[in-house]
Amino acid sequence: MRPIQMVDLQTQYQQIKPEIDAAIQKVIDDATFIKGPQVTDFSVALASWLSVRHVIPTGNGTDALQIALMALGLKEGDEVITPDFTFIATAEVVALLGLTPVVADVDRDTMNISIDAVRKAITPKTKAIVPVHLFGQCADMEPLLQLAKENNLYVVEDACQAIGAEYIFSDGTRKKAGTIGHIGCTSFFPSKNLGCYGDGGAIFTDDDELAKRMQAIANHGMVIRYHHDMVGVNSRLDSIQAAVLGVKLTHLDEYTGQRQLAADYYDRAFANNKSLTCPARAKYSTHVFHQYTLQVNNYDRDTLREQLREAGIPAMVYYPVPLHMQKAYHDQRYRQGDFPASEYLASCVLSLPMHTCLTQEQLEYITQTVNRLIGQSDNR
């Protein structure tokens, strides 16, 4: 059996090596390292795949979020609502821009932002909501969009973990994660569902005006060459990364299918294990399983993680500390106990290996080991 990894990018590369090598070699041969045709080709292909009007490539997912927020014309002290249980980048860019991050609790089952909590967090200063489609499943966007509309708020989706996930509206129409709100952001960090071989990100929108502004902000605030209309940043996807992404986009549906098969295997194997809660499958979203994240009940999560490690199975805690308890974000507004679902999840989540190259043998070994360690009552 191949050693088990959280993410196995070596095996995935071996499967597509000739395509990737040729695509990278072309960039080197042509020396089109920055703004090469690969960047435009990939952006066009991704826009078509997502059914969105504009794809603006960026240097990484954090930049994508920052540029999106910069384009909204917010001013210091304006409030932006984010979930309390997420990767730090979501709130970091809000704070960096001098805006005020306001966190909202999540739903314990989906682990995504709670619509009730958002409703309670809205004040006259609220200007935007940044829902995160955590672990690969969409937040409940229909009621969120309604709430945003009623309160005249922007919705900027953090779709860094959810490329390809589909939100299903109550009338049956479907939209891909990142194309539902005013702006969507994604990351092409190597371990993301669509990952490059370095850093990369992108912004999506159907709004022509916002697109123009974000394009300019990502390029030093420049609309006409050397005329800078606004303060911008320098955030680019380089051509080698775009070349890799162009190849991998053609495999993305197949990759998603492989993740979903692995998740189904885990679900079946843990169905009768009372110590574990498998990831909830929301009716309103497909799940692309960036992570397969269990909730460990009646057993110490960190002990389980250590026992798995000893058995050659890596497992990760995404995320051990909720935003409101992070040193940099903890202030007098927040106390331990304020966000019970988020705090509960931080104490009990455990993500198992999840990638496109998990073998039946590996899945069998992982699930049997987990069930052996905490499936039996004498182990609790």
By C-beta, is 62 or 367 nearer to ligand PLP? 62
Q: Are 113 and 104 in contact (CB under 8 A)?
A: yes
178 Ramachandran zone, left/alpha/beta (phi>0; psi -120 to 50)? left
By C-beta, is 189 or 265 nearer to ligand PLP? 189
- Tokens 């990894």 sit on residue: 5
Question: To the nearest whole angstrom, how small is the minimum distance from the Cβ of residue 272 to ligand PLP?
Answer: 31
Binding site for ligand PLP (CB under 6 A): 60-62, 86-87, 89-90, 132, 158, 160-161, 187, 189, 199, 201
Question: To the nearest whole angstrom, how small is the minimum distance from the Cβ of residue 57 to ligand PLP?
Answer: 12
Q: Are 291 and 262 in contact (CB under 8 A)?
A: no
Question: For residues 83 and 118, what is the distance between their CA atoms, to the nearest angstrom?
Answer: 9
By C-beta, is 78 or 158 nearer to ligand PLP? 158
How buried is 267 (Cβ within 10 angstroms: 0-12 exposed, 13-18 middle, 19+ buried)? middle
Question: To the nearest whole angstrom, how small is the minimum distance from the Cβ of residue 62 to ligand PLP?
Answer: 3
Question: To the nearest whole angstrom, how small is the minimum distance from the Cβ of residue 192 to ligand PLP?
Answer: 6
By C-beta, is 60 or 241 nearer to ligand PLP? 60
Question: For residues 71 and 215, what is the distance between their CA atoms, to the nearest angstrom?
Answer: 10
> Helix or strand or coil: residue 99?
coil
Question: To the nearest whole angstrom, how small is the minimum distance from the Cβ of residue 161 to ligand PLP?
Answer: 5
By C-beta, is 90 or 112 nearer to ligand PLP? 90
Question: For residues 249 and 46, what is the distance between their CA atoms, to the nearest angstrom?
Answer: 8
By C-beta, is 356 or 367 nearer to ligand PLP? 356
Question: To the nearest whole angstrom, how small is the minimum distance from the Cβ of residue 231 to ligand PLP?
Answer: 20
Q: Which residue sits closest to ligand PLP, CB atoms considered?
A: 61
Which residues have C-beta within 8 Å of that of residue 333, sequence separation ≥ 6? Answer: none
104 strand-pairing partners: 83
